[in-house]
Amino acid sequence: MKKGWLRLGAFASVVLLAAVVAFNLTFEPFDQPAVAAIHGDFAQFNDACVVNNMLMPLDDQGRLNIGVWNIYKQQKPQWDQQLNKLVAQNELVLLQEASLTPRLKQVLAKMQRDVVMARAFSGFNVINGVMNVSRAPAIESCAWLAKEPWIRLPKSALVSHYPLSNGEVLLVINIHSINFEWRTKRFQSQLMALTDVINEHQGPLIIAGDFNTWRQARQTMVLKFIEKFHLREAIPVDDHRTRVFGHTLDHMYYRGLVLRAVSVENIASSDHNPIMASFELQPVRGSTAPHH
């Protein structure tokens, strides 16, 4: 009996070792944050930030539509049709779990939109991370990383500043939160790392993405965080946002903008349903310039 257990233990050790080796050969985590502007097949992840000097307003004459979608690494059918639809309807689309495959590059190239991506990890030699697709380039976009405690593959975030037609600058944080952690230490650290950049910004703000709030403790932590910075949540009346254990995963929080409408579409092209919100810019105090 003892020999049987020893053989079983040895077999389990070999299987575990093989799994670890296979995982390390398949996935490459990155220790340093890097962002790239995507132009067709060209995507060079060298620096933590990319800067653009072309000050074209993100909004369309004071109106600003924003979509948020976990694209599930484009693993489900018709993801490209859904992405085309989102980009056509919104000035800014925030994607999580984007996988920079040749097919995604082709789809993005046809859109003629500005695209930036934060690198999280490489799987099967394909870069994965969060991505912004916008009608106008950001003044600056910076990548942020937070490493998962169990699987060690990082989650990424993009911190971007977009010019608006009323002279203000919109801070947009596209986040994919830590998932594989029962306790909330790393989850909280990922949020708190954003404190300084938010404190330094006085204008309108969007924080959105897949927060992985599948547990009440996580949701409570996010709510305390966004209340600290006086943000509100864009909550659809007909709420089809993806839920796990009864808790909503995807969120869009905002301040300094007027929310006009928010909706969620039931789709089959991802395991997450996209959020779409319509905003109007607030008049800047002391400004008489029309926005419509």
Give tens-digit pLDDT for 74-111: 999 999 999 999 999 999 999 999 999 999 999 999 99
pLDDT score recorded for residue 291: 40
Give me 209's structure tokens.
Answer: 């993405």
pLDDT score recorded for residue 144: 95
Per-residue pLDDT, averaged over 18-35, amounts to 63
pLDDT score recorded for residue 3: 55
Which residues are CB-neighbours of 130 under 8 A, at least 6 positions away? 94, 95, 96, 98, 117, 118, 120, 156, 157, 158, 174, 175, 176, 209
Task: Report angle CA 30, 109, 207 to the nearest 5 degrees.
Answer: 55
Using a cut of 0.85, tell me whether the model's pTM lies above it: yes
pLDDT of 178-214, one tens digit each?
Answer: 998 888 899 999 999 999 999 999 999 999 999 999 9
pLDDT score recorded for residue 30: 85
Higher pLDDT, 116 or 27: 116
**Statement: residue 7 has pLDDT above 70:** no
**Statement: residue 48 has pLDDT above 60:** yes
pLDDT of 144-189, one tens digit each?
Answer: 999 988 767 999 999 999 999 999 999 999 999 999 888 889 999 9
Edge to edge, the sheet with strand 154-163 lists: 49-51, 140-147, 154-163, 169-176, 205-210, 250-255, 232-233
Which percentage of the chain shows pLDDT scores above 70?
88
Per-residue pLDDT, averaged over 124-130, amounts to 94
pLDDT score recorded for residue 20: 33
Cα separation, 113 vs 209, whole angstroms: 20
pLDDT score recorded for residue 163: 98
pLDDT score recorded for residue 41: 85
Residue written as tokens 């690494």?
Answer: 73
**What is the β-pairing status of strands 250-255 and 232-233?**
antiparallel
pLDDT score recorded for residue 139: 97
pLDDT score recorded for residue 19: 34
Higher pLDDT, 47 or 10: 47
Give me 37's structure tokens.
Answer: 């502007």
**Statement: residue 1 has pLDDT above 60:** no
- Terminal Cα distance for the chain, rounded: 81
Give me 280's structure tokens.
Answer: 């109007």
State the DSSP H helix or E strand holding residue 205, giving kind and residue range, or none if neither. Answer: strand 205-210
pLDDT score recorded for residue 27: 60
Mean pLDDT of the chain: 89
Per-residue pLDDT, averaged over 15-21, amounts to 33
Per-residue pLDDT, averaged over 9-20, amounts to 35
pLDDT of 241-276, one tens digit each?
Answer: 999 999 999 999 999 999 999 999 999 999 999 999
Per-residue pLDDT, averaged over 228-244, amounts to 95
Task: Report angle CA 46, 48, 52 to the nearest 5 degrees.
Answer: 90
Of 142, 140, 90, 141, nearest to 111 by C-alpha is 90
**Statement: residue 58 has pLDDT above 60:** yes
